[in-house]
Amino acid sequence: MDWGSPQFVLGIIAISYGAWIVNNWIRAKHGYELEDEWGGKSGKSSKNSPDEQRKIELLSTENEQLVGKIDRLQERLQVLERIATDPAKRTADEIEALREKN
Q: Are 62 and 54 in contact (CB under 8 A)?
A: no
Question: Does position 49 have pLDDT exceeding 80, yes or no?
Answer: no
| Residue-by-residue DSSP string for 52-93 | HHHHHHHHHHHHHHHHHHHHHHHHHHHHHHHHHHS-HHHHHH
Q: How confident is the model at residue 59 (pLDDT cuts 50, 70, 90)?
A: very high
Residue 102 has pLDDT above 90, yes or no: no
Q: What is the pLDDT of residue 91?
A: 80
Q: Give pTM, 2 decimals.
A: 0.41
Across the strands, what pairs with 35? 41
Q: Which residues contact 36 (CB under 8 A, 6 or more apart)?
A: 42
Q: What is the mean pLDDT of residues 12-27?
A: 90
The reported pLDDT for the residue numbered 101 is: 83
